[in-house]
Structure formats: structure tokens, C-alpha cells
Amino acid sequence: MTQEEIRQAVLAILADIAPDEDLGTLDPDAPFRDQLDMDSMDFLDIVLELRKRYRVQIPEQDYPALASMVSTVAYLTPLMKDLPGPPRP
């Protein structure tokens, strides 16, 4: 997967967890916590969805890396770059 595809994957997860949030205006550098109304249960769901959809395992000590879109994509790139991207039209 390219970094852009990883970013889209994370956005899709966020859309599922918080369907009423406006993700179009998300600042990729700012923490999710400051922009979205999400609590610790929602953050746990990001981790669980990544595992469910992409078999990515994230140890608890690495959770702080998922603070913003930029940091999340950076963290996930080595773990997901070899995964197939979505089917291309």
C-alpha cells in the first residue's frame, strides 16, 4: 500500500468509528483528540479495526504513535507497505 492508501484506510476507519464527524477538514498534523470528539474507547477501536481489517498488531506501548494522521501513517507504513492496496478500477 502507498502512504496515500494507508491514509485512506485510516480515514475509512475513523469514518466508521465516528460517522458524524467531518473528516474532510482534518488537520493531518494536529492530534485527533483535539479535532474529533473521541475518547479512549474510540482510540481502542482504531487499533482493533486495524487488526481486524489489515491484521496489523499494535502493542499498547505504541498507542501514542497514533496521535495524529501524520504520525499514524508514518507508524503504519513499515507495517502496511507490503499489503495489497484496494482493487484498482
Partner 1 sequence: MYDTVIIGAGMSGLAAGIRLAYYDRPVCIVERHTAIGGLNSFYRLNGRTHDVGLHAVTNYAAKGGRRGPLAKLLRQLRLDWEDFNLAPQRGSAIVFPGVTLRFGNDPDLLRSEIRRAFPAQTGNFERLLDELADYDQLGSPSTCRSARQAAGRLLDDPLLVEMLFCPVMCYGGARERDMDFGQFSVLFRSIFLEGLGRPADGIRTILAALGRKFRGLGGELRLGTGVRRIGISSGSADRVILEDGTELPARRILSCAGWRETLRLCGVPPDDPAPGLQGISMVESISVLGVQPQALGIDRTAVFFNDSAEFHYARPDDLVDLHLGVVCSPNNFSYDQPLAEGIVRVTALANYDRWAALDPDAYRLAKRRSYDHLAASAVRFVPDFRSAVIDTDLFTPVTIRRFTGHDGGAVYGAPEKRYDGRTHLANLFLCGADQGLVGIVGAMLSGIAIANRYLLGPE
Smallest gap from Cβ 37 to partner 1, in A, equals: 5
Cβ distance 36 to 21 under 8 Å? Answer: yes
Q: From the list 17, 46, 50, 76, which residue makes contact with partner 1 (rule: CB under 8 A)?
A: 17
Q: Which residues contact 18 (CB under 8 A, 6 or more apart)?
A: 36, 37, 38, 42
Show contacts with partner 1 in window 25-44 (CB under 8 A).
37, 39-42, 44
By the criterion CB under 8 A, which residues form the site for partner 1?
16-18, 20-21, 37, 39-42, 44-45, 48, 51-52, 57
